[in-house]
Amino acid sequence: MATIAEVAEAAGVSISTVSYALSGKRSIKPATRDRVLAVAAELGYSPNASARMLAAQRSQIIAVSEPVHADTDDTAHMTFAMETTKAARVAGYDTLLLVHDDAVEGMSRSAATSLADGIVVLDVDEDDPRVELSRTLSCPTVFIGLPADTDGLVCIDLDFEAAARIAVDRLVDSGHRALGLISHREDTVLRGSNFPRRFLRGFIAQAEARGVAYAVTHPHGHTAQGSVDRLLKKLPELDGIVLNTTTDVAASLSPALATHGLSIPEDVSAIAAGVTFSTGRFAVPLDVIPLDAHASCEAAVRLLVTAIETGEHTPQTVLLVPDYREAGSVLARSRAPLTPHP
């Protein structure tokens, strides 16, 4: 039997429009309603009776669990919260933002009191206590991020390991042989935040696979100066830097290198990878492999709304394919080629 998502795709409308056409809860254009009904009949879609009963009791609210920590990147935090809210609004839902540092308590309260019809889980740690809770809740949840144990969960995120591989390969294939990674703050990584760890593992594995020298550093403050100093001490021949870090640290890379008489890309090439921010206004714009919050949140809300409105909540992990965007911050070096990697 077809799902409501398949009807929506075939009819060229949103899931919420299909729901309104079938339930009559909201007025929509007759032509749109007729098209939806025709597609539903053609595909053999019939809303589950219990789902229809539950629909009358919905709050039309999606809870967004995004706890605030001492090391929270405010820019990324608000970007994901806003993109989730916008995607929910398009689908006909309001949002309830849960930011208390006791994320489990917030989710439990939301589910127990029926404040929300479903929950989007953000700022995911590898050993996240919300994982076990989500398996016990009656309302559906979707994680934007990958915990260590995804069994029984619906998760969506950028493929950070692939993003790291692409960044390393772009630098190595351009002749770079000494690569540095400026990661997130060490307390963020130690807390278990999933995406910096995944990117870090991908970077190290690919640098070793390509046979180049590498070093990793974590910023101690809000600038790249200390990280650049440490990288150059470990790798005097440093000629490529990958940034998987916060906006302020990435923006300060060019002036930090300048204190050592180095510039981008003439002396050191640089790529910002797995980041939510634009580098267009940096002193030197950087090549970027973006973490597209809009794409991640829109897909997560779509999966959640499907589960809410159909009762169908199939565990799955969706990894978004990284996209490389050039800005001229990688300059080819004349070096002997390495042995091709598999």
DSSP 271: E
Tell me: pLDDT of 87 over 50. Answer: yes
CA-to-CA distance for 296 and 80, rounded, in angstroms? 9
What pLDDT does residue 47 have?
60
User: What are the extents of the domains in the chain?
Assistant: 4-47, 61-158+292-320, 160-286
To the question of domain 160-286 being in CATH 3.40.50.2300, the answer is: yes
What is the mean predicted confidence (pLDDT) over 306-330? 93
Residue 170 tokens read as: 């772009």
CA-to-CA distance for 275 and 195, rounded, in angstroms? 10
Q: Specify the higher pLDDT residue, 193 or 263.
A: 263
Whether the domain at 4-47 and the domain at 160-286 fall into the same CATH topology: no
Q: Which CATH number fits domain 4-47: 2.40.220.10, 1.10.260.40, 1.10.10.60, 3.40.50.1860?
A: 1.10.260.40
The CATH superfamily of 61-158+292-320 is: Response regulator (3.40.50.2300)
What pLDDT does residue 49 have?
42
CA-to-CA distance for 92 and 309, rounded, in angstroms? 12
CA-to-CA distance for 182 and 225, rounded, in angstroms? 11
Tell me: pLDDT of 340 over 60. Answer: no
- The 3-state DSSP class for residue 232 equals helix
Residue 152 tokens read as: 């029984």
What is the mean predicted confidence (pLDDT) over 193-208? 96
What pLDDT does residue 22 have?
73
CA-to-CA distance for 277 and 293, rounded, in angstroms? 10
Residues 6+ apart with CB under 8 A from 43: 2, 6, 7, 10
Does this model's pTM top 0.85? My answer is no
CA-to-CA distance for 114 and 117, rounded, in angstroms? 7
What is the mean predicted confidence (pLDDT) over 319-324? 97
What pLDDT does residue 112 have?
66
Give Cα separations from 54 to 47, 51, 61, 309 (angstroms).
Answer: 11, 5, 14, 9
Residues 6+ apart with CB under 8 A from 27: none
What pLDDT does residue 31 have?
87
Query: Which of the four pLDDT bands, split at 50, 70 and 90, describes residue 77?
Result: confident
Residue 327 tokens read as: 């800005």
What pLDDT does residue 117 have?
92
